[in-house]
A and B are shown apart, each in its own frame.
Chain A
């Protein structure tokens, strides 16, 4: 266990107790029912866990990003759909709080911080995934507001979220013509397509948002200025990628827990299989990868916290966008999610035939791990981000 100040220790005890008794036992049922665990998310809100890395004036707890990531890890260890849900919610909330005008921050953020509303983030489109700047959803100026037309894709919480951070084109082709809007679920002209049918993460709906002549008032243009959208989207992703790393570490820990427990109990050739070197070495590698993933995640989080002067946006001169963590955050996401893919694969192998059945959660972990190599930028895009940073020197 890492050395933590008393405040963080109390927080983690609270989260661990909740995750163990309320979340983990219900994860499988939510997955099988393909139902988003809204009641668990609401509960996180009542426990003040949806606003940890946000300023106190917004109702948050002003805790460093490191602490928030450790909480995310614990929740993901119990139920990835809930951990990932909090990560996506935080990504959207952070974008609005960091780039909103003072009036927008007061109006849109406190309900998200308190967990009364569920947030989501809409950047990708059917024909603009990794190449997000090629998006075609348009926001046309129309009198006092904008008219949005187009389709956003792969939106986590699509159809269950209350408030979306939506990127749309207001100007020229490319990144500079993109703006960000705060759009609520009851927006006229917005419909949500039926959720995608996926390999895993059934409790976390992924859906397209369809905008048809949707009249969005100008006071929902984030930052009050056109052209900021791509910068907002990318800056939000830096934190989002650390969040995905934390989700991956939690999932890997869950897989390691299940595999280790099984290997201690299952006997073959007259002794527990963990005493056979072939199995023990698999477990040793799983544990080492998980520890290394956690270390890189926390190291990058610490750099972010220190660059900010610790505490939410302590040194927010540049609205939190100038910290040199884009490449390190990509590294944390890349390393942790690739490691978790291998670890969940190995967990199935340790359980053997049992691991391939739905009697044990190992097969679910394997299916869930795959999405982490894809979301918030595929791992190929992470390498691109890192490679470009190296090329710049």
Chain B
């Protein structure tokens, strides 16, 4: 079985996020880049498929040369190879543009299953896995909190507000996983060292047959005209507890007013 894990480079989730005033995209200067945290879960799931079914797992990353450490980081968990699609024209792509690149990249590779994270830590759209499925005409089983492969069938528990649905599809298929699906392991020291020598193929948009005009900021279906930094947090209301129970009533009223209860 061949498995592909698309991963994303995102600004450090603990750091302050800023937008570049010139093109109104994420400002990466001075912000440390990390492997998107949700990918630790999708990678763990792929590693388990490797352990259980001997799957061959390839990492796919869309991003500039400077994102290569993120590819190596993904490989350090014990994955086999990587493909990185690098092209200046990709910069500023929206979810659909990104999905187009991923779909074309996938068309150029051999696979039975693609394991996405359900959303990236920076954009948080949850759109890409389903969009790639639509573009490829392949079933996409999203928000999986459980995944198993039986022969040529994939079964997932699809999480929703009231519980989960059991959904299955024939391979080839796409899956996106939520963080409840597993407990990711740490990479091993030998895994980190071995990651340096795993094969990494770099492809351009032309290599995978994507027209420059179909992606990037210019092709984005939404345009951002303006943005403002988040206003500073305002002082909260302080409720004094004098022991009479009035404070509890005041809190209950406040929660009712804000529709928390």
Contact surface of A with B, Cβ cutoff 8 Å: 7, 10-11, 14, 17-18, 22, 43, 46-49, 52, 61
Contacts and interface: CB of A to CB of B under 8 A. Distances in A.
B260 interface: no
A18 B185 CA distance: 10
Contacts of B193: 7, 10
A11 B189 contact: yes
B188 A48 contact: yes
B187 interface: yes
Contacts of A17: 186
A101 B186 CA distance: 35
B190 interface: yes
Nearest to B190: A48
Interface string B185-221: 1111111110000000000000000000000000000
Interface in B171-196: 185-193
B185 A49 contact: no
Q: Is the interface of A mostly helix, strand, loop or mixed?
A: helix
Nearest to A56: B190
B185 A48 contact: no
Nearest to B193: A7
Contacts of B185: 46
A387 B201 CA distance: 61
Contacts of A61: 189-190
Interface residues of B, number: 9
Interface centre among A11, A17, A47 (most CB of B within 10 A): A47
A14 B190 contact: no
B135 to A, nearest CB: 36
Contacts of A14: 186-187, 189, 192
Q: Is the interface of B mostly helix, strand, loop or mixed?
A: helix
B103 to A, nearest CB: 34
A13 B105 CA distance: 32
Contacts of A49: 189
A52 B185 CA distance: 19
Contacts of A22: 186
Given A14-B187, A14-B189, A47-B186, 10 more contacts: A7-B193, A10-B192, A14-B186, A14-B192, A43-B186, A46-B186, A47-B189, A49-B189, A52-B189, A61-B190
Contacts of B188: 46-48
Contacts of B192: 10-11, 14
B34 to A, nearest CB: 11
17 contacts: A7-B193, A10-B189, A10-B192, A10-B193, A11-B189, A14-B189, A17-B186, A18-B186, A43-B186, A46-B188, A47-B187, A47-B188, A48-B189, A48-B190, A48-B191, A49-B189, A61-B190
Contacts of B190: 48, 61
Nearest to A10: B192
B101 to A, nearest CB: 30
Nearest to B72: A10
A85 to B, nearest CB: 18
Contacts of A7: 193
The 5 A-B residue pairs whose C-beta atoms are closest, nearest first, are: A48-B189, A48-B188, A48-B190, A47-B188, A10-B192
Nearest to A11: B189
A47 to B, nearest CB: 5
A14 B189 CA distance: 8
Interface string B91-125: 00000000000000000000000000000000000
B131 to A, nearest CB: 33
A61 B186 CA distance: 17
A46 to B, nearest CB: 6
Contacts of B189: 10-11, 14, 47-49, 52, 61
Contacts of A18: 186
Interface in B11-62: none
A20 B192 CA distance: 19
A78 B100 CA distance: 46
A61 B194 CA distance: 12
Contacts of A10: 189, 192-193
A196 B156 CA distance: 51
Contacts of B186: 14, 17-18, 22, 43, 46-47
Nearest to B189: A48
A48 B186 CA distance: 11
A43 B184 CA distance: 12
A7 B186 CA distance: 17
Nearest to B187: A14
A380 B186 CA distance: 41
A116 to B, nearest CB: 14
Contacts of B191: 48
B160 to A, nearest CB: 30
